A and B are shown apart, each in its own frame.
Chain A
Amino acid sequence: MDAIVVANLSKSFGAEPARRNALKGVSLRLAAGSMTALIGPDGAGKTTMLRTLAGILTPGAGEVSVLGHHLPEQALAVQRRIGYMPQRFGLYEDLSVEENLTLFADLHGIARSEREGCFSELLTMTALGPFRKRLAGKLSGGMKQKLGLACTLIHPPDLLLLDEASVGVDPISRREIWGIIHRQVVEHGITILLSTAYMDEAERCDSVIVLHEGEILAQGHPGRLSSPLEGRSFLFELPENLSTSPRTVQSTIAGLPGVIDTVIQANGLRIVMEEPAPPALPADLVGRGTLKASPPRLEDAFVSLLFGRVKRHGISVPAETAASDGTVVIEVHDLYRHFGDFTAVKGVSFSVRRGEIFGLLGANGAGKSTTFRMLCGLLPSSSGTLRVAGLDLRRAPSAARARIGYVSQRFSLYEALSVKQNMEFFASAYGLQNRRKKSRLAWALEEFELSAYAGANAGDLPLGYKQRLALACALMHEPGIVFLDEPTSGVDPLARREFWTRLNALACQGTTCLVTTHFMEEAEYCDRLVLMSLGEVLAQGTPSEIKAAARRPGEPPPGMEDAFISIIEEHERSSRRAS
């Protein structure tokens, strides 16, 4: 039996002329007991699809039937039988873990006698047992997400709809969440439809649906989706003691004819070709690594499916100049920040050299943003020294600020102003005048390919374009250092690739880039990085140094995510020993 039957579903928002079609005649069938992933770039219609299936959006046109109930008429009947976890699951933060569970048990009419057993099972499964009486608002991001999942599993549902359930949580919680979801299918035979930004999660599903601009591009078993790429995926293995950064190699390969995609990964570069033929490596690269064929992955298929449909931008990466001369431009020593009796940053020290891409990695709540705000002079430090561009931030914050650019987590653009007006405003705010202002504006429109959108309101831009505009505004005054706080959060894999290429180009021109991210695989793009957890630095160095530190004898080098997890586990073990 099919759990979900959708025929010709369309849905649009807003009135003409600003009408936006979120779904355009989508048809699909989901077998009961299957696990399906919904993937696609931002604005593809994933959330609209899940909300429609949950009965909280009315279909514009077409037929929708969920568990045999017709929508929208029988929404209540559907809602009795499904569990739905929205992107930001609304937990009541003033209620404890147990009170949140009780509320959802009440709403689903779970008999009081069954509750204790059900709660203890869910709490064991989510490892939230010790925090039963803690207020939900005081839980970490990963714990909140697990509690949200527990609340949706309370009845237990016949169908589970999950909207990016594991985004923004630390790798350990992400693994646990995935484990819980997987158990639901195996042990309880629950049908699951989930949207995700992680291709490795989608790869583990029975079936994958690729959405793009409200249409289904492809649908099927992940292995079947990637099979057309047989013979088109290659791995260019680089030795661990490479003299230049893998980024330079990447930008060379990306420019070769027939190359669709290149990604830096654990031990080299992954290359996806348009045709089943290896890339023609230039002579100077041939001897520097070994090129191997590699089995295709879902991510390769995803990128090649969207290749050509999404306009991708050829960003020219200049050859590496003598920019990285080793001058230290940012120096942080024994930095602390307290909020009341909570210590957000505990004794953080690191230094950044000119022209480096320096990463701050960690889950939500690790202290990355707090460290960042102190570096930008937005937040005074409680103790410790901070020198940015040779200036002490405690003494000359505004002089230091004139030399840096800052892209905040939510981009902080003026949504009601046009792209050009935003640029003009930031140019004026940085004191640019006359000829210089004019030339910088022209540069920004050209460099970030925003000319076509110059008159559009910043608020109406797709997320990827907002990100570009924010970067353009932060670079108006040609700062030597740019700070980027979670610039890739919520941005799809394609836009993320483009963003990193852009950053690469900036670094090659000698601009120092500081980036925070919770995507572990993005660590590979950094020259050096620090791994943070609960306000402390757990490890720092180049990506290969960090992975080497986490490498267990006799095992292959771990990916950044595995490295992070083993470093955290090691840290927890040693802190337990110490206490």
Chain B
Amino acid sequence: MSMMRLMGLIRKEAYEIVRDPSSIAIAFILPLALLLIFGYGVSLDARGIPVAVVVDHPTLLTASFVGELRSSRWFRPTNYPGEAPAEKALTDGRAAAIVWLRSDFTRLALSSGRAPIHVIVNGVDANQARIIENYLNGAWLAWLAQRAAGEGIRISAPVVAEARVWFNPAMRSRDYLVPGLIAIIMTLIGALLTALVVAREWERGTMEGIMVTPAGKMELLLGKLIPYFVLGMGGMLFSTIMAVFLFRVPLRGSISVLVACSSLFLLTALGMGLLISILARSQFVAGMVAIVATFLPAFILSGFLFDIHSMPRVVQLLTHVIAARYFVGLLQTIFLAGNVWSIIVSNCLGLAILCLLFLGLAIIRFRKRLD
């Protein structure tokens, strides 16, 4: 290992990064675009749900209940003259749910203090349906409680759940989406950067010239890892700044823990990229493999969008080899909960094993040979 050779390789890579806009674009423009699209465009919260309201016998009480729905930011109620047109609205997709106040609503409300409502939810999107159902239920309970308080009656709901949400009290889905998204972006940056730049050397024929020099394989590998590690950390810093200052995601854990975990993850992602580039020698193939083998699994199997615990057991086992799985957990914890050591240590351990695996394989498979 010679410092002069290593520095020479790093300097060369640095010039290429600065002069060829493509790697800068991957490290900075890609996170910017993805964070803006996802941060603003994707939200798992339901807001302004179109609700078809059918009232059999309009009274002051029914008006008060519909008023309650209207005043909430979750619903956009529309009155329908009967059940049939409401159902038509549901099937046409103009309404996501039907709230049907039957003719006995007012009578039951006055006599027992309990006024049953009939709710029909479009269940095509099961997740959304459950959220709407819960929201409607909540709105109904709130209205009952408010009415009871006004009348001086205690309502006797069998069990009243008092929910308290920890770590994300405002229940803003953006707060947990953005840290997860950073993990996905970093997977893509890490793997794509190294996979493309090594494949580029093969394509342009520079690799053949470099191979027939005294540079050893560790020097060649480190000469790629170090510059792109720095560039990747730059992308990470940029994404974190966007998360905290643009999306107002709280950062409750310490910066040093964030830096340490990100470094470990970035090394793993760069290792995957190196491994891909050793197997695929054209930029096109390397790019495709990087996206299919790292980005897509990270998106689906990391727990970023879909809960790992609700996956079938086999798939759950599979998620253990997805590096992003550990990083999603780490980032969500560090951003929203703080330094929770049990989670940080176990996830870092998982990452460290994968990191050693990928880098080790890259070192073994990389040869200064063409065959």
Contact residues of A with B, CB < 8 Å? 13, 51, 54-58, 72, 75-76, 79-80, 82, 84-95, 99, 102-109, 135, 148, 151-152
Contacts and interface: CB of A to CB of B under 8 A. Distances in A.
B221 interface: no
Contacts of A86: 205, 208-209
19 contacts: A54-B211, A55-B369, A56-B211, A75-B368, A76-B216, A76-B368, A79-B213, A86-B208, A86-B209, A89-B205, A90-B201, A90-B206, A94-B20, A104-B213, A106-B4, A107-B213, A107-B215, A108-B214, A152-B209
Given A13-B371, A102-B8, A54 B212 contact: yes
B15 A106 contact: no
B16 A95 contact: yes
Interface of B: 2, 4-5, 7-9, 11-12, 15-16, 19-20, 201, 204-216, 368-371
A195 to B, nearest CB: 15
Contact of B16 (A82, A85, A88, A92): A92
B370 A90 contact: no
B204 A93 contact: yes
A326 to B, nearest CB: 47
A56 to B, nearest CB: 5
B206 A94 contact: no
Contacts of B5: 106-107, 109
A152 B211 CA distance: 12
Contacts of A57: 369-371
Nearest to A87: B205
Contacts of B7: 106
A92 B208 contact: no
The 10 closest A-B pairs by CB, nearest first: A106-B8, A90-B206, A90-B205, A84-B212, A94-B19, A107-B213, A88-B205, A80-B214, A86-B208, A90-B209
B214 to A, nearest CB: 4
Contacts of B204: 90, 93
Contact of A90 (B2, B20, B210): B210
B206 A91 contact: yes
A95 B12 contact: yes
Given A79-B212, A107-B215, A151-B209, A92 B12 contact: yes
A102 B8 CA distance: 8
A269 to B, nearest CB: 40
B69 to A, nearest CB: 62
A99 to B, nearest CB: 6
Contacts of A93: 204
- Residue from A13, A106, A107, A135 having most chain B Cβ neighbours under 10 A: A107
Contacts of B201: 90
Contacts of A99: 11-12, 15
Contact of A56 (B2, B16, B370): B370
A301 B208 CA distance: 33
A456 to B, nearest CB: 24
B285 to A, nearest CB: 16
A92 B206 CA distance: 7
Contacts of B20: 94
A54 B211 CA distance: 9
A75 B12 CA distance: 24
B15 A56 contact: no
A51 B212 CA distance: 9
Nearest to B7: A106
A94 B16 contact: yes
Nearest to A82: B212
A108 B368 contact: no
Contacts of B9: 103, 106-107
A79 B214 contact: yes
Contacts of A105: 8
B115 to A, nearest CB: 72
A107 B8 CA distance: 7
A56 B212 contact: yes
Nearest to B216: A76
A94 B204 CA distance: 12
B213 A108 contact: yes
A105 B369 CA distance: 22
A105 B20 CA distance: 23
B4 A95 contact: no
Nearest to A154: B213
A86 B208 CA distance: 7
Contacts of A107: 5, 8-9, 210, 213-215
Contacts of A84: 209, 212
Contacts of B4: 106, 109
Nearest to B215: A107
Given A94-B16, A108-B214, A109-B214, A56 B209 contact: no
Given A86-B205, A89-B209, A76 B19 contact: no
Contacts of B216: 76
A145 to B, nearest CB: 13
A524 to B, nearest CB: 33
Contacts of B16: 92, 94-95
B206 A58 contact: no
A56 B368 contact: yes
Nearest to A93: B204
Given A76-B214, A109-B214, A90 B207 contact: yes
Nearest to B201: A90
B277 to A, nearest CB: 16
A82 B206 CA distance: 17
Contacts of A87: 205
A45 to B, nearest CB: 14
A13 B4 CA distance: 36
Contacts of A56: 208, 211-212, 368-370
A408 B143 CA distance: 78
Nearest to B16: A94
Nearest to A11: B371
Nearest to A53: B212
A95 B214 contact: no
A88 B205 CA distance: 6
B2 to A, nearest CB: 6
Given A86-B208, A86-B209, A102-B8, A94 B15 contact: yes
A413 B205 CA distance: 23
- Residue from A55, A56, A152 having most chain B Cβ neighbours under 10 A: A56
